[in-house]
Chain A
């Protein structure tokens, strides 16, 4: 209970901090419009107007993922620059409790992109927002935040352990969009991608959102998304502990 509270409050305050960055705000205003446009033209060209809403949802999720990837990949490095890494590592709790709010917050602010994409789609292109399961859509959105936040934690801890791993962050944008079926249905991708897609929390988050939009079981996908997220969390926790130990030995918690 205490742990959940810490995670929740940590995430919300962290999201508040992020949402006040001029850079983030500018991105958040522009990207969803681009996403919505992308969705519309991709699918108009493909002559499938009935799938416009589905496409807009997928595009919105791409926005969430972009936010998690850029935000989480550099989350720890960023704290180091702000001079707060030492202070948060000095808390008498497991480092996961400190780092997960950082990455979950990037998913929360990313969700704004999801909502904004749908709104832009509605306003500019007249895509009606009639969801098959509105309630389940809300649940799927929360599952996406949690799942992507936990995935983000794994990225954060991996990137901080590997030198210059941030260079990896940007090229990861597109493969995950594609692999998780945010952009096009997984069924059109080559068969070898299926096993990779199956272990990504993003795939199941995207699927849950799609099922809530056009109709489908939703809840199993939510469950799998959260389960895979938990696996990321456990792996991330192990990596973070090892990072902490190494950083204390190598004096890398602060800038030299």
Chain B
């Protein structure tokens, strides 16, 4: 489902003329099979988010290739990647990334609007999805009027609404208390088993790492030998 080949990345800092290159990822290669949950762990600053941002297409790699669902995304232009993303990828962010001026309903509906789905179909699907995450009664609430756990469920509903085969999550439980964290992990497992959704999850939390069929540890921008289980 996801194939990473010899991926390297570095950040450029400083003004022109005085630029320094900071290598973050060095020659990363791994694969995520269809229906798999893979977790990536590592210390803060080890390059986990950078890796996920590369897979998400938010930044472009310096070297190497990324294949998702049979397509080579590492060379796609922005416009093409956008269309690819809405069809194939769902996102769960640590800080939810809901649009504050939109209600829960509107936030969940947004990907369907972007896909050009008709209004009637959108309403039905959105309501179903909100019911699935248990937030139908909260559909007219703005993100600011919801708890952290509820906001995360809205963001999951938004990720799921377009039926993506893959969900990418960067520290999905980072802003949640342990009880809501457990609920979320249960839900992820359900989605994986019931719908066969592939997950690539980044975390520094052992409990989260444990739901992965496999766990990859990053250290100093490289995959730590022997931890690839």
The answer on A and B forming one complex is no
Binding site for A on B (CB under 8 A): none
